[in-house]
């Protein structure tokens, strides 16, 4: 076992990070800090890292494992062992999110405000309590507000010797050029389906055939594969989406399918809001010391308004993400249809859908299929441009129609 166990098919990245963690260890032993700037000797420790790669490849998993390796306290390491044992107190507290010198900035909720980022930058400049490294992991660095990104830039520009910034984003283009030019870049690759299936069997105890199908259907997204393997609702959702190519025979079917997709996405956003919004508002009131029914303390009204604004944008994002997953499933389906039409013999993303794929493949030509793939991609672009979701999805399902 080691801190890298949850990372799938990223041997090269693990090698690079292990070398850096060893260099970091040597630097601490010699009383030195990290070498600033991205360039120079690849085996040296550096103070800012940017983890990129296709969705679900494991950017934040890699960053978290690296943070653990930096804080590993295993006595074996002193004897020349590799940092990141996964057992010791250092590794364990980082992985469970409770290490005093590792701060996580998570993307599960709202975009990170400038105030939070300034606090972080300030905190980051203090010496690590454990005497090793002060690590700040920013998941989804592309979701920072512009002001927050500028505050982050300040931290990355003027690093303290023992501060390490770990930023995660889909691609380098998603991060301010001024920030990325100061980071060492790590690019994760799409993991092979076999590697993902192995991990589902080994780590999650999934039955091998279920793991194989889920790994293929996840199309390289490890977390999505895991959900498909263990979560009934995710499986049902996918099957629901994959019915669409057979339902779009007439305009009525197209419009109904579009409505269903959009309604599902809306329900997801509402379910998330139900579990999170009220608690966040309560927490905020508590932070201001507002008692039930008493007069609101100064500044609270503005903070509540700001919170509500961010909650609203999170709901929009959740809706878009659910639709995004559905579009990826559809895209995978039509790519498989094309593969069948072209006589490919390789494994398909939707191995469990062979009969439906054969039916759609037989009813059209490769040109039809390419046109449909373009319709799905066009829908994705429209959603990125904030086109009304129902309009965008209807335009797609109508374009998916036969003929
Ligand atoms: Zn350890």
Contact 143, 170 (CB under 8 A): no
CATH of range 11-187; options 3.40.50.300, 3.40.50.850, 3.40.640.10, 2.40.160.10: 3.40.50.300
**pLDDT of 66:** 97
**CA 88 centroid distance within chain:** 27
- In 169-228, DSSP assigns E strands to 184-187
Strand partners, 167: 50, 138
Q: Which residues surround ligand 1, an ion (CB under 5 A)?
A: 72, 74, 85, 88, 91
Residue in the block written with tokens 């129609």: 401
Integer angstrom CA distances of residue 145 from 13, 104, 129, 387: 29, 17, 30, 22
Rounded Cα–Cα distance for residues 257 and 363 (Å): 20
Residues in contact with 270: Cβ distance below 8 Å, sequence separation at least 6, in sequence order: 315
- What is the pLDDT, as a whole number, of residue 292? 61
What is the per-residue pLDDT for 293?
A: 61
Residue 112 phi, psi (nearest 5): -85, 125
The reported pLDDT for the residue numbered 68 is 96
* Ranges in the chain, pLDDT < 70: 36-43, 107-113, 290-294, 402-403
Cα 17 to middle of ligand 1, angstroms: 14
| Ligand 1 centroid, distance to 70 Cα (angstroms) | 9
Measure 113 CA to ligand 1 centroid, in angstroms: 33
| Beta carbons of 48 and 184 less than 8 angstroms apart | yes
Sign of CA dihedral 342, 228, 390, 258: positive
Question: Quick one: pLDDT at residue 151?
Answer: 86
**Domain boundaries of the chain, sorted by first residue:** 11-187, 193-230, 247-402
Pairing mode, if any, of strands 184-187 and 48-52?
Answer: parallel
pLDDT, position 41: 61
What is the Å distance from ligand 1's center to 1 Cα? 10
Dihedral pair phi/psi, residue 162, rounded to 5°: -110, 25
């Amino acid at each position: 076992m080691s801190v890298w166990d949850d990372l799938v098919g990223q041997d090269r990245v693990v090698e690079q990070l292990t070398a850096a963690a060893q260099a970091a260890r040597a630097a601490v032993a010699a009383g030195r800090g990290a070498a600033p700037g991205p360039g120079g000797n690849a085996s040296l420790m550096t103070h800012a890292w940017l983890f990129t790669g296709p969705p679900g490849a494991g950017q934040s998993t890699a960053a978290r494992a690296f943070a653990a390796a930096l804080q590993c306290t295993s006595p074996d390491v002193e004897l020349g062992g590799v940092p990141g044992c996964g057992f010791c107190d250092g590794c364990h507290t980082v992985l469970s999110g409770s290490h005093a010198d590792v701060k996580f900035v998570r993307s599960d909720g709202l975009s990170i405000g400038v105030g939070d980022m300034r606090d972080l930058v300030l905190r980051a400049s203090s010496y690590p309590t454990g005497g090793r490294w002060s690590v700040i992991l920013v998941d989804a660095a592309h979701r920072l507000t512009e002001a927050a990104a500028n505050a982050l830039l300040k931290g990355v520009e003027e690093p303290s010797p023992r501060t390490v910034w770990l930023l995660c984003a889909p691609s380098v283009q998603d991060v301010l050029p001024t920030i990325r030019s100061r980071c060492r870049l790590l690019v994760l690759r799409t993991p092979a389906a076999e590697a993902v299936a192995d991990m589902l069997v080994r780590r999650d105890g999934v039955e091998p055939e279920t793991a194989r199908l889920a790994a293929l259907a996840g199309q390289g997204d490890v977390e999505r594969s895991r959900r498909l393997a263990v979560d009934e609702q995710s499986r049902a959702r996918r099957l629901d989406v994959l019915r669409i190519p057979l339902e779009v025979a007439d305009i009525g079917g197209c419009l109904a399918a579009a409505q269903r997709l959009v309604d599902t996405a809306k329900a997801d956003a509402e379910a998330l809001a139900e579990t999170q919004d009220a608690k966040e508002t309560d927490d905020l009131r508590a932070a201001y010391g507002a008692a039930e029914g008493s007069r609101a303390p100064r500044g609270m009204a503005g903070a509540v308004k700001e919170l509500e604004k961010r909650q609203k944008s999170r709901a929009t994002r959740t809706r878009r993400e659910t639709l995004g997953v559905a579009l990826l499933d559809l895209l995978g389906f039509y790519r498989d249809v094309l593969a069948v039409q072209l006589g490919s013999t390789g494994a398909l993303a939707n191995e469990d859908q062979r009969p439906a794929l054969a039916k759609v493949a037989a009813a059209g030509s490769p040109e039809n299929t390419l046109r449909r793939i373009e319709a799905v991609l066009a829908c994705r672009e429209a959603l990125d441009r904030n086109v009304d979701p129902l309009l965008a999805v209807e335009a797609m399902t109508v374009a998916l129609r036969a003929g």
